[in-house]
Structure 1
Amino acid sequence: MELSQAPKADIAGTVQIYVATTREPSAQPVYFSGERGPRLSFARLDITVPRGHKPGDLELPDSGPGDPAKHFTATYIQKLDLAPAVSDVRKELMRRPASQRDVLVFVHGYNTNFADAVYRFAQIVYDSGFKGVPVLFTWPSRGQLLAYPYDRESAFYSRDFLELNLRAIARDIGSSRMDILAHSMGTLLTLETLRQAAIRGDGDFGGKLRDVMLAAPDVDLDVFKMQMRQIRRPITVFVSADDRALDFSRRFAGDKTRLGAVSAKDTETIAELEKLGVRLIDLSDVSSSDSLNHAKFASSPKVVQLIGERLRQDKGVGFSGPRFGDRIGDIAGGVVGTVGSTVGLVVTAPVQIISGAQ
Structure 2
Amino acid sequence: MRGLILPILLIALSACTARGTMVVVPPETAEGPISTVYVGTTRGLEGTGVFGSERSEALRFARYDVAIPPQREVGQISYPKPRRPNVSTDFVTTGQRIYSADADFRSDLGAALAANGREAIIFVHGFNNTFTEGLYRIAQLRHDLEVPGVALHYSWPSAAEPLGYLYDRDSATFARDGLEELIRETVAAGATRVTLVAHSMGSYLSMEALRDIALKDGRIMPQLRGIVLISPDIDVEVFRAQAKDIGTLPQPFLIFGSDRDRVLRLSALITGQRGRLGSLDSVEQLSDLEVTYLDVGAFSSGGGHFVPGTSPALIKLLGRIGDVDQAFGNDAAGRAGLLPGVILTARSATRVILRPVADITGDSLN
TM-score bin (small chain): 0.7 to 0.9
CA distance in 2, matches of 1:176, 1:316: 18
Task: Summarize deviations over 1:169-206 as a string: whole Å, max 9, x none.
Answer: 12x2112300000000000000111112222241x615
1:332: Cα distance to partner?
A: 4.3
Q: 1:52 aligns with which of 71, 80, 96?
A: 71
Looking at structure 2, the residues matched to 33 and 160 of structure 1 have their Cα atoms a distance apart, in angstroms, of 19
1:122 is aligned to 2:159: no
Q: Following TM superposition, by how much is the alpha carbon of 1:106 offset from its aligned partner in structure 2, in angstroms? A: 0.2
Matched, 1:156 2:167: no
Distance 2:233 2:199 in 1: 8
Whether 1:276 aligns to 2:289 is yes
Q: Give secondary structure in 2 for the equivalent of 1:69.
A: coil
Residues 36 and 313 of structure 1: is their aligned pair in 2 closer, same or farther, counting only changes over 3 Å? farther
RMSD of aligned alpha carbons: 2.7
Residue of structure 2 equivalent to 1:181: 197
The gaps in structure 1 that reach 5 residues or longer are 337-348
Secondary structure in structure 2 of the residue aligned to 1:238: strand
Secondary structure of 2:33's counterpart equals strand
Query: What letter corresponds to residue 91 of structure 1 in structure 2?
Result: A
Residue 50 of structure 1 aligns to a residue whose secondary structure is coil
Deviation larger for 55-64 or 272-281:
55-64
Partner SS for 2:287: helix
Please tell me whether the aligned partners of residues 221 and 256 of structure 1 are also in contact (alpha carbons under 8 angstroms): no
Question: What letter is aligned with 1:303?
Answer: L
Question: Is 1:12 matched up with 2:32?
Answer: yes
* Aligned-partner Cα distance in 1 for 2:260–2:242: 25
User: Structure 1 6/287 Cα, relative in aligned 2: closer, same or farther at 3 Å?
Assistant: farther
Counterpart code for 2:89:
K
* Residues 60-89 of structure 1 deviation map (CA, whole Å, 9 limit, x = unaligned): 246755311111111111101311110001
Residue 315 of structure 1, CA deviation: 4.9
TM-score (norm 2): 0.82
Distance 1:122 1:200 in 2: 32
Q: Contact 2:213 / 2:221 at 8 angstroms: preserved in 1?
A: no
Question: What secondary structure does 1:85 align onto?
Answer: helix
Distance in 2 separating the partners of 1:134 and 1:292? 27
Question: 2:53 aligned with 1:43, yes or no?
Answer: no
Give the partner amino acid of 1:286: F
How many residue pairs align between the two structures? 326
Letter in 2 for 1:294: H
**What is the Cα deviation at residue 57 of structure 1?**
1.3
51-60 or 275-284: bigger deviation: 51-60
Equivalent residue runs for 1:1-358 within 5 Å: 1-5=22-26, 7=28, 11-28=31-48, 31-61=50-80, 65-80=84-99, 81-96=101-116, 100-170=117-187, 172-202=188-218, 205-232=220-247, 233=249, 234=251, 235-263=253-281, 266=282, 270-287=283-300, 291-307=302-318, 309-310=320-321, 315=325, 318=328, 320-322=330-332, 331-332=336-337, 335=340, 350-356=351-357
Q: Deviations over 1:21-80 (max 9, x none)?
A: 01011213x711101112100111011011112211112246755311111111111101
1:143 to 1:166, Cα distance in 2 relative to 1, 3 A? same
**2:172–2:205 Cα contact (<8 Å) kept:** yes
CA distance change for structure 1 residues 319 and 333 in 2, over 3 Å: closer, same or farther? closer
Once the two structures are TM-superposed, the CA of residue 113 in structure 1 deviates from its matched residue by 0.7
Give 2:10's aligned residue: none
Report if aligned partners of 1:318, 1:350 keep a CA contact under 8 Å in 2. no
Alpha-carbon distance in 1 for matches of 2:316, 2:196: 16
- Taking only the aligned residue pairs, the percentage that are identical comes to 30
Q: Which amino acid aligns with 2:332?
A: P
Q: Distance in 2 between matches of 1:316 and 1:145?
A: 39
Conserved 8 A contact 1:211-1:317 = no
Q: How far apart, in 2, do the equivalents of 1:220 and 1:67 lie?
A: 42
